[in-house]
Structure 1
């Protein structure tokens, strides 16, 4: 008569423990891989934003879109609204809204419980634009200042000035909400204005005024680009 050898309880617990250890070892790697995927996708989005803004500038006498405007006719508009208003094609609008919103924010919902991409909120949850470098303040062809701004760095080259970037509003939705505006020198965390958000493996993806894309680290945020407050690990911190 043949007997089947059964696992003992101790052997079974050992196997479970080994599986748990392997899972614990793999989970951080899988998380980093997922974050790297988000970062790569975000960089791709910003590059496409650069193409859209470049085409907008060609059609607008060299001017980039305004960061924000509140008109009697048309109401409030953001830089994403201005890009979208240049077309009346729903398919292009669908393409645009998937480009101007960071991949990590595409699951966000608005106040009515709708996904932001299914509502008009997507134009308010787009990448942040630094107001000092929008079409009102800067000549995108020469890089010269058209209008006084405390945010403008006259000595910066076009390739060193941030135009768009990952942003969030402190103390709102755990510092996750993207927003259409971003300021360089603001230090008040409770004023509702957005800050640079280092959401991708402790870096923020940004697009510069010459339309190339790069990443900003915590150290470079202050020393190289002059930010005095950023969002780091979902917490607003002062750099100066």
Structure 2
């Protein structure tokens, strides 16, 4: 019996070299797996961001349904303030809408947004309406705020976009609306392109959300990095 035990013990012994070889193999396999896992994790966060944009789209549609089809006006009382009046899960009072929302709302924070914020981050901006190259959906002047029923190409007209930049804070008029030149020369440097360089998620006026490159949003009209004129692109709500 003793001899049998000794035989078994001898058969399960490993040399130091064998152990080191196994450890090295595990390390090599891990080095292959880490980029794959990192990419999968990033992709899952992008999907969460898309889902949040769709939820914001639903809130905008609900707001428009109660306001003659107009999207939220955005000035000192921002578009997210107005959605906070019972459309996005919050129930802000008029005084709260006129001030700065005192807590973070996760719906407005993209999981990939690592931009430092002075107060409570808002990762998204609506497209900027107004004179000249401001061909988007909303701004502070009620005369330029767009009605959803007026949009001729809702599946290819951007209503809201990722804008993870410093000072884009919930309930403030800083970076609340953006146009193409703000994207070709963004705040925040490289950290702005958290989805990949030149890429971000966009909410369309039909309620769909898509991950696109900035070049794709220009529909072949021009190269945005050379000419950011939004006319006849997905940024043009009047086309």
> Shorter-chain-normalised TM-score: which range?
0.5 to 0.7
* 1:131 maps to 2:137: no
Q: Aligned partners of 2:82, 2:223: CA distance in 1, in Å?
A: 27
1:8 maps to which of 15, 35, 42: 15
Match of 1:214 in 2: 210
Match of 1:32 in 2: 39
Q: Deviations over 1:56-104 (max 9, x none)?
A: 11111211012x313xxxxxx32111111347648xx9xx922222122
> Tell me, what secondary structure is at the counterpart of 2:112?
helix
Q: Aligned partners of 1:183, 1:109: CA distance in 2, in Å?
A: 22
Superposition pairs of residues 1-240 of structure 1, within 5 angstroms: 2=6, 4=10, 6-66=13-73, 68-70=74-76, 77-86=77-86, 89=91, 97-105=105-113, 110-111=117-118, 121-122=120-121, 125-132=122-129, 133-134=137-138, 136=142, 137-143=144-150, 157-169=153-165, 180-186=176-182, 189=185, 192=187, 198-200=193-195, 203-224=199-220, 228-229=224-225
The 1:54–1:81 alpha-carbon spacing in structure 2 relative to 1, beyond 3 Å, is: same
Could you tell me how far 1:143 is from its partner in structure 2? Answer: 2.1
Could you tell me how far 1:126 is from its partner in structure 2? Answer: 3.5
> Tell me, what secondary structure is at the counterpart of 2:210?
strand
TM-score by length of 2: 0.64
Task: Answer whether contact 1:183 1:194 (CA < 8 A) is retained.
Answer: no
The 1:188–1:54 alpha-carbon spacing in structure 2 relative to 1, beyond 3 Å, is: closer
Q: Which runs of 4+ in 1 moved over 6 A?
A: none
Q: Which runs of 5+ in 1 are unaligned?
A: 71-76, 112-119, 145-155, 230-237
Q: Aligned partners of 2:215, 2:156: CA distance in 1, in Å?
A: 16
Q: Aligned partners of 2:223, 2:112: CA distance in 1, in Å?
A: 22
Larger Rg: 2
Q: Which has the higher contact order (CA 8 A, sep 6+)?
A: 2
> Tell me, what secondary structure is at the counterpart of 1:168?
coil
Match of 1:232 in 2: none
Q: Which runs of 5+ in 2 are unaligned?
A: 93-100, 130-136, 168-173, 229-239
> Tell me, what secondary structure is at the counterpart of 2:40?
helix
TM-score by length of 1: 0.64
The 1:204–1:101 alpha-carbon spacing in structure 2 relative to 1, beyond 3 Å, is: same
> Tell me, what secondary structure is at the counterpart of 1:121?
coil
